[in-house]
Amino acid sequence: MICGDFNAVLLPDERLFGNPITFPEIRDFSECIKQVQLTEFKWSGDYYTWSNKQASTDRIWSRLDRAFGNHDWMLQWGHVVLEYDVPHISDHAPMILSLNTMIHPGKSPFRFFNIWADHTTFIDIVQQVWSKEFSLNGMENIWLKLKALKPQLKKLNREEFKEINLKIAKARQELAIIQRQLTIHSSDDLYRLEKKAVQNLEKWSLIEESALRQKSRAQWIKLGDANTKYFSAVIKERSQKKHLGGIQSLSGRKLTDPIEIKDEILLFYKSLMGTSSSTLPAVNRTVMKQGPLLSHQQKIQLCSDITDQEIADALKSIDGDKAPGIDGYNAHFFQKTWHILKDDIVQATKEFFQTGKLYRPINCTAITLIPKNASPLM
């Protein structure tokens, strides 16, 4: 971590009044930050951290005081928020940094990892659960089967994919031992062992990279380039952006306790909820007819039943790495197990188009609040 008065600015708007900021003023400081690979802390408080204390139009404000962390620091403490206090008698606003462990309220929801689908027992696990019937209702039956499958997949993850970093370290150590033996004396047996050890190390390295890539949602990087450090940084950055360390209540009170923050958010959104209207305005058919109209054949085509192939094509068109649905299963899961799930999925999909009804749990939505302001306490 490095912090203090840098006596330099990074952006053109970081000085209020006085001489305009020029590119040379920004360039050196900006290049320095990039070269040493530093990331600025999240912060709250006034934007400008320094003033010359002059009166009226002679007063100049500038943002000179900052705090940065390198990769290792941000992985450990990137969630903390730097607070700028009032300057009192000083020219500079004091920086207050409170180190606290990030709190993760509640349990983490189930998420399907694509690496599970490559395990030799995966298809058998799915087949065993899917052979059971839980309900006569098509959609409910699918929902309950997916629910019953979750503990089996969690068990697979615990037994085969837990502590991947330790398995990689062990594989690397075994390879190093074999290669040291080869420097002393070579043999066909050692060459075979070396080849096997290399394959084992590559296997677990790719598994780790695949899991981290899926968590980071970095879609533009392909597997096999050993991007684990980058993926870890992206995951941490995503987590830090989503973490809400504090907000200001409607009454103006600063809230930092997770329970108080949750209650305040619920109160705010409940206050936005109104009552449903007893009457809805009718569509003006005269205005509608003035625009482009569908032909009779097009109307018939839109009302025709969907086909099995259309359902399959729709599933295939979804990127397997996209975020999962409310049940935790992504498109990759359904694509890999389509030969098992096909009949149930097709039947349930057609049932929806015929009745216009969805099984209630399937129709649930997870509402995610994404902070638009990096410093909500400002």
Complete DSSP assignment for 122-188: HHHHHHHHHTS---SSHHHHHHHHHHHHHHHHHHHHHHHSTTHHHHHHHHHHHHHHHHHHHHH---H
Main-chain dihedrals φ then ψ at residue 61, nearest 5 degrees = -110, 145
Q: In what order do the strands lie in the sheet with 95-97?
A: 42-44, 81-84, 95-97
Q: Is 247 strand, coil or helix?
A: strand
Q: How many Å apart are CA 322 and CA 318, to the nearest integer?
A: 8
Instruction: Mark whether 139 and 232 lie in a shared domain.
Output: yes
Residue 375 has pLDDT above 60, yes or no: no
Same-domain status, 120 and 209: yes
Instruction: Give the tens place of pLDDT for each residue, 144-154.
Output: 999 999 999 99
Residue that wins the pLDDT comparison between 315 and 364: 315
- Which of the residue ranges 73-82, 242-251, 306-315, 361-370 has the most confident prediction, judged by mean pLDDT? 306-315
Classify residue 192: in a domain, yes or no: yes
DSSP 340: H
Within-domain flag for 90: yes
Give the end of a domain, one of 215, 242, 269: 242
Residue 302 lies in a domain: no
Task: Compute the distance between CA of residue 232 and CA of residue 313 in angstroms, rounded to an integer.
Answer: 34
Residues 224, 156 within the same domain: yes
In a domain, 326, yes or no: no
What is the mean predicted confidence (pLDDT) over 12-34? 90
The pTM of this model reads 0.60
Residues 190 and 236 in one domain: yes
What is the pLDDT at residue 377? 58
DSSP 315: H
221 and 166: one domain? yes
Domain extent, residue 28, equals: 2-97
Say if 254 falls within a structural domain: no
Domain count along the chain: 2
Residue 30 lies in a domain: yes
Q: Give the SS3 label for residue 5.
A: strand
Question: For residue 304, with 0-12 CB atoms within 10 Å meaning exposed, 13-18 middle and 19 or more buried, which class applies?
Answer: exposed
Kindly state whether residue 54 falls inside one of the protein's structural domains: yes
Query: How far is it, in rounded angstroms, from Cα 149 to Cα 80?
Result: 38
Is 70 found in the same domain as 13? yes
- 234 pLDDT more than 60: no
Question: Residues 85, 145: one domain?
Answer: no
Residue-level pLDDT at 224:
45
Given 62, 97, 132, the domain boundary residue is 97
Domain check: are 155 and 226 in the same one? Answer: yes
